[in-house]
């Protein structure tokens, strides 16, 4: 099963999502930026590499937020959401066609990738419960 690192960047009660571009699988769905872990890298290294590739900025992976296994038709992924810090906010979209800082309670109104519903619901409940630093 593939491990997929997904960055959870939080700023002033908002979280950064990016939209999959036309031509990609799952085009039009919003997701946490990141991607598949390669051999010989840790999941934190994977996250930092993917953010550099997708946004052309450095970031720091801080801690695992949650993990969720999701079965797609083609196989399962282990989505590993990682609290992370953007070290430069001037992101450039290299893969996605849009990005947005979304108020956490508004996540419900975005069409996120099916595996990400688990993460966005946890974010909403942690936010409402005052558990997000």
Least Å distance, CB 6 to ligand 8GT, is: 4
Which is nearest to 99 in space by CA: 10, 32, 23? 32
Interface mask toward ligand 8GT for 37-56; x: CB under 6 A: --------------------
Q: With respect to ligand 8GT, which residue has the nearer C-beta, 63 or 130?
A: 63
Q: What angle do CA 38, 120, 17 make, to 5 degrees?
A: 65
Number of shown-chain residues binding ligand 8GT (CB under 6 A): 15
Residue (of 28, 2, 44, 25) closest to 112 by Cα position: 28
Kindly list the residues in this chain that would bind ligand 8GT in the complex (CB under 6 A).
4, 6, 24-26, 31-32, 34-36, 77, 79, 113, 115-116
């Amino acid at each position: 099963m593939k491990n997929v690192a997904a960055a959870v960047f939080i700023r002033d009660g908002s979280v950064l999502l990016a939209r999959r571009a036309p031509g990609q699988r799952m085009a039009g769905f919003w997701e946490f930026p990141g991607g598949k872990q390669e051999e010989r890298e840790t999941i934190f290294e994977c996250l930092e590499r993917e953010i550099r590739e997708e946004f052309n900025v450095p970031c720091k992976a801080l801690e695992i937020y949650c993990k969720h296994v999701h079965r797609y038709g083609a196989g399962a992924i282990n989505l590993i959401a990682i609290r992370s810090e953007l070290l430069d906010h001037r992101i450039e979209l290299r893969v996605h066609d849009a990005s947005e800082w979304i108020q956490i309670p508004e996540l419900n109104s975005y069409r996120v990738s099916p595996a990400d519903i688990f993460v966005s619901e946890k974010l909403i409940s942690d936010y409402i419960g005052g558990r997000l630093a």
